[in-house]
Copies of this chain bind each other. A is one copy, B any other.
């Protein structure tokens, strides 16, 4: 396991997100672990109940800025990104825990607003905020862990089969467009900026997809192409998207025109909207809210029909490295 890391490398060299991803999947796991590290969440068999668990850290400066997002936004986002991972396994979210580090001179009002955000998004997802810890530290960080329960088998990234329909539920490109707006010093349009501040994952769509027999599912957090690349790799299949089936919604189209950007870079490459993407056996009646956007084939990688070259901006985004 540890051999994947070369001597003398720093965290910056290997990429912050890569470290535990490299190390954890090689660890031995107990008999109760049905799905270990490497998927959206782990799945445990606890005396016959399948429990789904995951954790994500948000750090000020990397994941939010206090001048762009309210404490309430940060609390909601910290819950949303975790509960979306639980839903992406097909599980019903039940509970979240929060570990908060913050400077000693931070106003308690900010923390109260953070706690309200944690509570509100937990409530929106049908969860309880059951515990937490607050400590003094040099920057604000919020680590949420989320738990859910499965009524049937977990839907991992690894079950897609040639012939499956690829479907999407939720928004794409809003958070990336909102970030572009904020980076240029604007605070509107609200639909985009708010999407960066806090995603609105379609929590219920996860268990609904599982009940409809989804063969694979993923939370779209790194970008559609990047995340479907994870599904393609885990399932040893190719995924072929139909560009015209992936809607570029009006606020994104308009903002891209205003900024001279290619909206496809946000829609296909932008992360943080936490839509769900899933594969279904051909002929499945897709649950409400899901749209057919492509198909699974023999082979590897993700392709988009009609693209002879990558949209501007996508080549340098996180999506590109998985686009092949």
Contacts and interface: CB of A to CB of B under 8 A. Distances in A.
A48 interface: yes
Nearest to A31: B128
A241 B81 CA distance: 47
A250 interface: no
Chain A: interface size category: 35 or more
A133 to B, nearest CB: 5
B49 A48 contact: yes
A238 to B, nearest CB: 28
Contacts of A108: 5-6, 9-11, 13-14, 19
A12 B104 CA distance: 4
A6 B107 CA distance: 10
Nearest to A56: B133
B131 A10 contact: no
Contact of A104 (B16, B126, B137): B16
A143 interface: yes
A39 to B, nearest CB: 9
Interface of A: 2, 5-14, 16-21, 23-24, 27-30, 32-33, 36-37, 41-42, 44, 46-49, 51, 53-63, 94-95, 97-109, 111-112, 115-116, 119, 126-139, 141, 143, 145, 147, 149
A19 B51 contact: no
A133 B32 contact: no
Q: From A17, A27, A61, name the one whose CB has the most chain B CB atoms within 10 angstroms.
A: A27
Given A12-B136, A17-B134, A104-B12, A149 B47 contact: yes
A11 B55 contact: no
B55 A143 contact: yes
Contacts of A27: 119, 128-129
Given A16-B134, A105-B10, A136-B12, A57 B128 contact: no
B44 A46 contact: no
A129 B185 CA distance: 42
21 contacts: A10-B104, A10-B107, A10-B108, A11-B106, A16-B136, A20-B100, A24-B132, A37-B131, A42-B97, A44-B95, A48-B48, A49-B51, A51-B147, A53-B131, A54-B131, A55-B97, A55-B98, A61-B137, A62-B137, A63-B135, A138-B138
Contacts of A100: 19-20, 57
Contacts of A5: 108-109, 112
A59 B145 CA distance: 18
**The 3 A-B residue pairs with the shortest CB-CB distance in the complex, in nearest-first order:** A12-B104, A42-B130, A143-B143
A291 to B, nearest CB: 30
Nearest to A102: B11
A55 B147 CA distance: 13
A46 B101 contact: no
A201 to B, nearest CB: 17
Q: Name the residue in A55, A108, A126 with the highest tally of chain B Cβ atoms < 10 Å from its Cβ.
A: A108
B46 A51 contact: yes
